[in-house]
Amino acid sequence: MSITPLFFPDVKLIEPKVYSDARGFFKELQNQQFFSDVGIDCTFVQMNHSFSSYGVLRGMHFQRSLPQAKHLIVLSGEIYDVVVDIRPDSPTFKQWLGIHLKADLHQQLFIPAGFAHGFCVLSPTVHLIYQCSALFNLAEDRVFCYNDPEIGIVWPIDEPLLSEKDRLAPRFKDVN
């Protein structure tokens, strides 16, 4: 595996070694020792599978006092993935990073706790799985609007398909 730190040094692009031949391919999705060696020191306790169609936008989601680190793996398709630093004491508070992730490039993303997360689908469909370092807790679940002008995320689609929760999400400054 190779690791590339991104704009936020703790957010890491993970590219596993892929062993391909005429039969297909093999790759490791996670190696706890390697992760630990590169500073990803968390235990994942929940794994989720998300399926979406072109134009779906999910975000910006986070848990208030039980934050989750996430290990995101695109199994098929392409997404534009966005993280926002929501750590009030961070020098990059309210800054964001967007990155294209493509299954055919075997790309993965590690997002540490303290970041809001969202993505939009750029391929006809997408399957992704993501592991979380804390269990989902409905009482701690928070969302802010994907197009909050204070954050200023630039999305690659103009008219996303949104859930009611995301459509009605408040601005970041109004999240309690």
Tens digits of residue pLDDT in 84-122: 999 999 999 999 999 999 999 999 999 999 999 999 999
pTM, entire model: 0.92
Least confident window among 16-20, 41-45, 53-57? 16-20
How many C-beta atoms lie closer than 10 Å to residue 3's C-beta? 16
Domains and CATH numbers, the chain: 2-174 (2.60.120.10)
Residue type present at position 129: I
E strands within the chain? 2-5, 12-15, 18-21, 24-27, 46-53, 57-63, 70-76, 78-85, 96-102, 108-111, 115-121, 125-132, 141-143
Catalytic residue among 19, 61, 127, 146: 61
Cβ partners under 8 Å of residue 22, min gap 6: none
Catalytic residue among 71, 80, 106, 130: 130
Does 130 participate in catalysis according to the annotation?
yes
